[in-house]
Amino acid sequence: MSGANAPKLELDGRGLRVGIVAAQWHEVVMNGLIEGAIRACERAGASHELIRVPGAFELPLGAQLAARSNKYDALVALGVVIRGGTPHFDFVCDGATQGLTRVCLDTQIPIGFGLLTVDNEEQALDRAGLADSREDKGNEAVEASLAMALLAQGALGLVGKVVPTGFR
Q: What is the pLDDT of residues 97-149, one digit of tens each?
A: 999 999 999 999 999 999 999 999 999 999 998 999 999 999 999 999 999 99
CATH number for 110: 3.40.50.960
Structural domain boundaries enclosing 33: 15-48+56-157
Q: Assess whether 26 carries a catalytic annotation.
A: no
Interhelix angle 88-107/59-68, nearest 10 degrees: 10
Has residue 39 been placed in a domain? yes
Has residue 8 been placed in a domain? no
Has residue 10 been placed in a domain? no
Of 68, 71, 88, 161, which one is the catalytic site residue? 88
Domain count, the chain: 1
Please state whether the predicted TM-score (pTM) of the whole model is above 0.85.
yes
Has residue 165 been placed in a domain? no
Instruction: Give the whole-angstrom CA distance, residue 13 versus residue 25.
Output: 29
Note the Cα 85 to chain centre separation in Å.
27
For residue 163, what pLDDT is reported? 44
Has residue 121 been placed in a domain? yes
For residue 155, what pLDDT is reported? 56
For residue 1, what pLDDT is reported? 40
pLDDT > 90? residue 161: no
